[in-house]
Amino acid sequence: MSLSSFRRRPATATSSSHDGQKESPQPSIEDPAVLKRETRARRVFSGISCFCYLMAVIFLILVEIGNTRNSPVIRDIYFFKLDLTDILPQSAPTTLSLQNSIARTLGLHDFYQVGLWDFCEGYNTDGITYCSTPTTLYWFNPVEILLGELFAGASIALPSQVNEILNILRIASNIMFGFFLTALLLDFVLMFLAPIAVFSRWWSGPLGFFALLSTLLVLIASSLGTAMSLIFKYALTSQTDLNVNADVGLKMLAFMWIATGFTLISFIIHAGLCCCCTSRRDIRTGRRNARHINEAGSREKGRTTTATSD
Protein backbone atom coordinates (compact mmCIF):
# COMPACT_ATOMS: atom_id res chain seq x y z
CA MET A 1 0.00 0.00 0.00
CA SER A 2 2.69 2.48 0.95
CA LEU A 3 4.96 1.37 -1.91
CA SER A 4 2.33 1.99 -4.58
CA SER A 5 1.56 5.39 -3.11
CA PHE A 6 5.25 6.25 -3.18
CA ARG A 7 5.47 5.25 -6.87
CA ARG A 8 2.55 7.45 -7.83
CA ARG A 9 4.07 10.61 -6.34
CA PRO A 10 6.45 11.47 -9.25
CA ALA A 11 3.58 11.20 -11.70
CA THR A 12 1.52 13.55 -9.56
CA ALA A 13 4.37 16.08 -9.36
CA THR A 14 4.94 15.87 -13.10
CA SER A 15 1.25 16.25 -13.74
CA SER A 16 1.17 19.31 -11.51
CA SER A 17 4.09 20.84 -13.35
CA HIS A 18 2.35 20.26 -16.70
CA ASP A 19 -0.81 21.80 -15.33
CA GLY A 20 1.19 24.82 -14.17
CA GLN A 21 2.67 25.19 -17.62
CA LYS A 22 -0.75 25.04 -19.19
CA GLU A 23 -2.09 27.63 -16.80
CA SER A 24 0.84 30.02 -17.46
CA PRO A 25 1.53 30.02 -21.22
CA GLN A 26 4.66 31.81 -22.41
CA PRO A 27 3.94 35.29 -23.91
CA SER A 28 4.15 35.53 -27.70
CA ILE A 29 6.12 38.13 -29.61
CA GLU A 30 2.96 38.76 -31.64
CA ASP A 31 1.12 39.78 -28.50
CA PRO A 32 0.13 43.46 -29.00
CA ALA A 33 0.86 44.16 -25.34
CA VAL A 34 4.40 42.79 -25.74
CA LEU A 35 5.04 44.79 -28.93
CA LYS A 36 3.71 47.92 -27.30
CA ARG A 37 5.85 47.44 -24.21
CA GLU A 38 9.05 46.63 -26.08
CA THR A 39 8.74 49.56 -28.52
CA ARG A 40 7.81 52.11 -25.87
CA ALA A 41 11.08 54.06 -26.19
CA ARG A 42 10.78 54.23 -29.96
CA ARG A 43 7.19 55.42 -29.76
CA VAL A 44 8.13 58.12 -27.25
CA PHE A 45 10.91 59.50 -29.45
CA SER A 46 8.67 59.37 -32.53
CA GLY A 47 6.07 61.34 -30.60
CA ILE A 48 8.69 63.92 -29.62
CA SER A 49 9.75 64.30 -33.26
CA CYS A 50 6.10 64.83 -34.28
CA PHE A 51 5.76 67.53 -31.65
CA CYS A 52 8.97 69.21 -32.86
CA TYR A 53 7.73 69.14 -36.45
CA LEU A 54 4.43 70.68 -35.33
CA MET A 55 6.24 73.51 -33.55
CA ALA A 56 8.52 74.06 -36.55
CA VAL A 57 5.50 74.23 -38.88
CA ILE A 58 3.76 76.78 -36.64
CA PHE A 59 6.79 79.08 -36.48
CA LEU A 60 7.53 78.71 -40.20
CA ILE A 61 3.93 79.69 -40.96
CA LEU A 62 4.45 82.81 -38.85
CA VAL A 63 7.59 83.56 -40.86
CA GLU A 64 5.67 83.07 -44.12
CA ILE A 65 2.70 85.29 -43.23
CA GLY A 66 4.72 87.96 -41.43
CA ASN A 67 4.20 91.52 -42.71
CA THR A 68 1.69 90.39 -45.36
CA ARG A 69 -1.06 92.68 -44.07
CA ASN A 70 -1.79 95.36 -41.52
CA SER A 71 -3.24 93.27 -38.70
CA PRO A 72 -2.19 92.62 -35.10
CA VAL A 73 0.78 90.27 -34.63
CA ILE A 74 1.36 89.88 -38.38
CA ARG A 75 2.44 93.50 -38.88
CA ASP A 76 5.07 93.12 -36.16
CA ILE A 77 6.85 90.23 -37.92
CA TYR A 78 9.39 91.61 -40.39
CA PHE A 79 13.06 91.19 -41.31
CA PHE A 80 14.06 94.82 -40.94
CA LYS A 81 12.46 98.24 -40.69
CA LEU A 82 13.81 101.46 -42.18
CA ASP A 83 13.05 104.66 -40.28
CA LEU A 84 13.34 107.68 -42.58
CA THR A 85 11.61 110.16 -40.28
CA ASP A 86 14.62 112.45 -39.98
CA ILE A 87 16.36 111.64 -43.25
CA LEU A 88 18.69 114.38 -44.51
CA PRO A 89 18.06 115.17 -48.20
CA GLN A 90 20.61 116.35 -50.72
CA SER A 91 18.01 118.77 -52.04
CA ALA A 92 14.34 119.55 -51.42
CA PRO A 93 11.65 121.34 -53.40
CA THR A 94 11.57 125.01 -52.44
CA THR A 95 7.78 125.11 -52.70
CA LEU A 96 7.25 122.54 -49.95
CA SER A 97 7.05 123.40 -46.28
CA LEU A 98 8.17 121.10 -43.47
CA GLN A 99 5.32 118.84 -42.40
CA ASN A 100 5.20 116.11 -39.74
CA SER A 101 8.57 114.75 -40.80
CA ILE A 102 11.29 115.40 -43.32
CA ALA A 103 10.47 112.12 -45.06
CA ARG A 104 6.84 113.13 -45.60
CA THR A 105 7.95 116.51 -46.89
CA LEU A 106 10.06 114.77 -49.52
CA GLY A 107 7.22 112.46 -50.53
CA LEU A 108 8.53 109.46 -48.60
CA HIS A 109 6.90 107.53 -45.80
CA ASP A 110 8.27 107.57 -42.28
CA PHE A 111 9.08 103.88 -42.26
CA TYR A 112 9.33 100.83 -44.51
CA GLN A 113 9.35 97.27 -43.21
CA VAL A 114 10.17 94.17 -45.23
CA GLY A 115 8.70 90.67 -45.04
CA LEU A 116 9.15 87.49 -47.03
CA TRP A 117 6.41 88.27 -49.56
CA ASP A 118 6.16 92.06 -49.62
CA PHE A 119 6.91 95.36 -47.91
CA CYS A 120 4.71 97.73 -45.92
CA GLU A 121 5.04 101.48 -45.46
CA GLY A 122 3.43 104.05 -43.24
CA TYR A 123 3.72 107.06 -40.98
CA ASN A 124 4.53 107.28 -37.30
CA THR A 125 1.23 109.05 -36.62
CA ASP A 126 -1.00 106.80 -38.74
CA GLY A 127 0.75 103.45 -38.63
CA ILE A 128 0.93 101.25 -41.71
CA THR A 129 -0.93 102.82 -44.63
CA TYR A 130 -0.03 100.44 -47.46
CA CYS A 131 1.31 96.92 -48.02
CA SER A 132 2.39 95.79 -51.46
CA THR A 133 0.76 92.78 -53.10
CA PRO A 134 2.40 89.53 -51.89
CA THR A 135 4.72 88.35 -54.63
CA THR A 136 6.46 85.02 -55.14
CA LEU A 137 10.26 85.30 -54.86
CA TYR A 138 9.90 88.86 -53.61
CA TRP A 139 12.93 91.00 -52.89
CA PHE A 140 13.08 94.54 -51.50
CA ASN A 141 14.66 97.10 -53.83
CA PRO A 142 15.16 100.25 -51.73
CA VAL A 143 16.56 102.30 -54.60
CA GLU A 144 13.54 101.72 -56.82
CA ILE A 145 10.98 102.22 -54.06
CA LEU A 146 12.46 105.25 -52.31
CA LEU A 147 13.55 107.14 -55.41
CA GLY A 148 10.21 106.38 -57.04
CA GLU A 149 8.28 108.07 -54.21
CA LEU A 150 10.31 111.28 -54.01
CA PHE A 151 8.62 114.47 -55.06
CA ALA A 152 9.98 116.29 -58.10
CA GLY A 153 13.05 118.28 -57.17
CA ALA A 154 13.87 116.15 -54.12
CA SER A 155 16.78 113.74 -53.89
CA ILE A 156 18.54 111.64 -51.29
CA ALA A 157 22.03 110.19 -51.26
CA LEU A 158 21.67 106.47 -50.77
CA PRO A 159 24.94 104.89 -49.61
CA SER A 160 27.01 103.20 -52.27
CA GLN A 161 26.91 99.94 -50.30
CA VAL A 162 23.19 99.64 -51.02
CA ASN A 163 23.69 99.82 -54.78
CA GLU A 164 26.54 97.30 -54.59
CA ILE A 165 24.56 94.69 -52.69
CA LEU A 166 21.31 94.92 -54.68
CA ASN A 167 22.14 91.90 -56.85
CA ILE A 168 23.28 89.91 -53.81
CA LEU A 169 20.12 90.98 -51.98
CA ARG A 170 17.93 89.74 -54.84
CA ILE A 171 19.64 86.34 -55.04
CA ALA A 172 19.64 85.87 -51.26
CA SER A 173 15.96 86.85 -51.02
CA ASN A 174 14.97 84.37 -53.73
CA ILE A 175 16.93 81.54 -52.13
CA MET A 176 15.53 82.36 -48.71
CA PHE A 177 11.97 82.43 -50.06
CA GLY A 178 12.29 79.03 -51.76
CA PHE A 179 14.06 77.37 -48.84
CA PHE A 180 11.58 78.56 -46.22
CA LEU A 181 8.60 77.39 -48.27
CA THR A 182 10.17 74.00 -49.07
CA ALA A 183 11.15 73.44 -45.43
CA LEU A 184 7.60 74.24 -44.34
CA LEU A 185 6.14 71.66 -46.73
CA LEU A 186 8.71 69.02 -45.72
CA ASP A 187 8.12 69.52 -42.00
CA PHE A 188 4.37 69.33 -42.52
CA VAL A 189 4.64 65.99 -44.37
CA LEU A 190 7.22 64.55 -41.94
CA MET A 191 4.96 65.41 -39.02
CA PHE A 192 2.53 62.73 -40.27
CA LEU A 193 5.15 60.24 -41.47
CA ALA A 194 7.31 60.22 -38.33
CA PRO A 195 5.21 57.57 -36.44
CA ILE A 196 5.97 54.87 -39.04
CA ALA A 197 9.54 54.76 -37.70
CA VAL A 198 8.12 52.61 -34.87
CA PHE A 199 7.59 49.67 -37.23
CA SER A 200 11.08 49.33 -38.71
CA ARG A 201 14.53 50.89 -38.72
CA TRP A 202 14.38 50.95 -42.50
CA TRP A 203 11.89 53.79 -42.28
CA SER A 204 14.20 55.82 -40.05
CA GLY A 205 16.75 56.09 -42.86
CA PRO A 206 14.55 57.90 -45.43
CA LEU A 207 12.89 59.94 -42.69
CA GLY A 208 16.31 60.93 -41.38
CA PHE A 209 17.42 61.96 -44.88
CA PHE A 210 14.42 64.22 -45.43
CA ALA A 211 14.75 65.57 -41.88
CA LEU A 212 18.38 66.46 -42.66
CA LEU A 213 17.30 68.12 -45.92
CA SER A 214 14.64 70.14 -44.11
CA THR A 215 17.13 71.14 -41.42
CA LEU A 216 19.64 72.36 -43.99
CA LEU A 217 16.98 74.32 -45.87
CA VAL A 218 15.63 76.14 -42.84
CA LEU A 219 19.14 76.66 -41.44
CA ILE A 220 20.41 78.24 -44.66
CA ALA A 221 17.26 80.35 -45.04
CA SER A 222 17.48 81.58 -41.43
CA SER A 223 21.15 82.41 -41.86
CA LEU A 224 20.44 84.36 -45.05
CA GLY A 225 17.58 86.25 -43.42
CA THR A 226 19.70 87.16 -40.42
CA ALA A 227 22.71 88.18 -42.50
CA MET A 228 20.59 90.20 -44.93
CA SER A 229 18.91 92.13 -42.10
CA LEU A 230 22.18 92.89 -40.33
CA ILE A 231 24.01 93.88 -43.52
CA PHE A 232 21.17 96.13 -44.59
CA LYS A 233 21.13 97.78 -41.19
CA TYR A 234 24.88 98.36 -41.28
CA ALA A 235 24.86 99.70 -44.85
CA LEU A 236 22.26 102.35 -44.04
CA THR A 237 23.14 103.36 -40.50
CA SER A 238 26.83 103.70 -41.32
CA GLN A 239 26.02 106.80 -43.39
CA THR A 240 25.73 109.55 -40.80
CA ASP A 241 25.03 112.19 -43.45
CA LEU A 242 21.86 110.29 -44.43
CA ASN A 243 20.48 109.97 -40.88
CA VAL A 244 18.50 106.78 -41.52
CA ASN A 245 17.77 104.30 -38.76
CA ALA A 246 17.23 100.59 -39.37
CA ASP A 247 15.88 98.06 -36.89
CA VAL A 248 16.16 94.29 -37.21
CA GLY A 249 12.89 92.42 -36.65
CA LEU A 250 13.61 90.44 -33.49
CA LYS A 251 10.34 88.50 -33.69
CA MET A 252 11.07 87.33 -37.21
CA LEU A 253 14.60 86.29 -36.24
CA ALA A 254 13.33 84.49 -33.15
CA PHE A 255 10.68 82.58 -35.11
CA MET A 256 13.20 81.58 -37.79
CA TRP A 257 15.71 80.19 -35.35
CA ILE A 258 13.13 78.50 -33.15
CA ALA A 259 11.85 76.67 -36.24
CA THR A 260 15.45 75.76 -37.08
CA GLY A 261 16.00 74.37 -33.59
CA PHE A 262 12.87 72.20 -33.63
CA THR A 263 13.70 70.84 -37.08
CA LEU A 264 17.25 70.04 -35.96
CA ILE A 265 15.95 68.16 -32.91
CA SER A 266 13.69 66.07 -35.16
CA PHE A 267 16.64 65.18 -37.39
CA ILE A 268 18.75 64.13 -34.40
CA ILE A 269 15.92 61.88 -33.19
CA HIS A 270 15.52 60.21 -36.60
CA ALA A 271 19.27 59.73 -36.88
CA GLY A 272 19.29 58.08 -33.46
CA LEU A 273 16.35 55.81 -34.31
CA CYS A 274 18.38 54.36 -37.19
CA CYS A 275 20.53 52.48 -34.68
CA CYS A 276 18.81 52.77 -31.31
CA CYS A 277 15.52 51.68 -29.72
CA THR A 278 13.80 48.39 -30.57
CA SER A 279 11.34 48.42 -33.46
CA ARG A 280 8.49 45.99 -34.11
CA ARG A 281 10.41 44.43 -36.98
CA ASP A 282 13.39 43.79 -34.68
CA ILE A 283 11.20 41.71 -32.38
CA ARG A 284 9.38 39.78 -35.10
CA THR A 285 12.56 38.90 -37.00
CA GLY A 286 14.39 37.91 -33.81
CA ARG A 287 17.12 40.53 -34.13
CA ARG A 288 16.24 41.71 -30.67
CA ASN A 289 14.44 39.35 -28.34
CA ALA A 290 11.76 40.82 -26.16
CA ARG A 291 13.27 41.26 -22.72
CA HIS A 292 10.03 40.53 -20.91
CA ILE A 293 9.47 37.38 -22.95
CA ASN A 294 12.90 36.04 -22.00
CA GLU A 295 12.33 36.89 -18.37
CA ALA A 296 8.96 35.16 -18.43
CA GLY A 297 10.50 32.10 -20.07
CA SER A 298 13.30 31.98 -17.49
CA ARG A 299 10.82 32.19 -14.62
CA GLU A 300 8.67 29.45 -16.17
CA LYS A 301 11.72 27.24 -16.68
CA GLY A 302 12.73 27.79 -13.07
CA ARG A 303 9.29 26.79 -11.83
CA THR A 304 9.34 23.66 -13.97
CA THR A 305 12.77 22.65 -12.67
CA THR A 306 11.68 23.20 -9.09
CA ALA A 307 8.51 21.19 -9.55
CA THR A 308 10.44 18.32 -11.16
CA SER A 309 13.05 18.23 -8.41
CA ASP A 310 10.30 18.08 -5.79
Q: Is residue 69 part of a domain?
A: yes
Give me the pLDDT at residue 32, please. 52
Amino acid at 165: I
Q: For residue range 99-125, what is the model confidence (pLDDT) as tens digits? A: 556 667 777 888 999 999 999 999 988
Structural domains of the chain, count: 1
Contact of 241 with 88, CB cutoff 8 Å: yes
pLDDT tens string 169-195: 889 999 999 999 999 999 999 999 988
What pTM was estimated for this model as a whole? 0.75
What average pLDDT score do residues 20-26 get? 47
Residue 223 maps to a domain: yes
Query: Measuring CA to CA, how many Å separate 48 from each of 44, 136, 262, 270, 283?
Result: 6, 33, 10, 10, 23
Q: Is residue 6, in this structure, part of any structural domain at all?
A: no
Quick one: pLDDT at residue 138?
Answer: 93
Q: Name the more confident of 116 and 302.
A: 116
Range of the domain at 259: 32-294
What pLDDT shows up at residue 207? 86
Residue 4 lies in a domain: no
The highest-confidence range among 94-98, 126-130, 144-148, 304-308, by mean pLDDT, is: 126-130
Average pLDDT over residues 35-63: 83
16 pLDDT above the threshold of 60: no
User: Bigger pLDDT: 61 or 289?
Assistant: 61
Residues near 259 by Cβ (< 8 Å), separated by ≥ 6? Answer: 55, 56, 59, 60, 63, 183, 218, 222
pLDDT of 204 over the 90 cut: no
Whether 151 is in a domain gets the answer yes
Q: Is 281 contained in some domain?
A: yes
Task: Check if the beta carbon of residue 122 is closer than 8 Å to that of residue 129.
Answer: yes
Per-residue HEC secondary structure of 217-239 comes to HHHHHHHHHHHHHHHHHHHHHCC
Residue 256 pLDDT? 96
Instruction: Tell me the average pLDDT of the chain.
Output: 76
For 229-280, what is each residue's pLDDT tens digit? 998 888 777 777 677 888 999 999 999 999 999 999 999 988 877 776 554 4
> In terms of pLDDT, which residue wins out, 142 or 122?
122
Residue 182 backbone phi and psi in degrees, to 5: -65, -40
Assigned domain for 303 exists: no
Which pLDDT band, with edges at 50, 70 and 90, does 152 fall under?
low
Residue 171 lies in a domain: yes
Candidates 292, 270, 207; CA nearest to 35 is: 292
Backbone angles phi, psi at 116, to 5 degrees: -75, -30
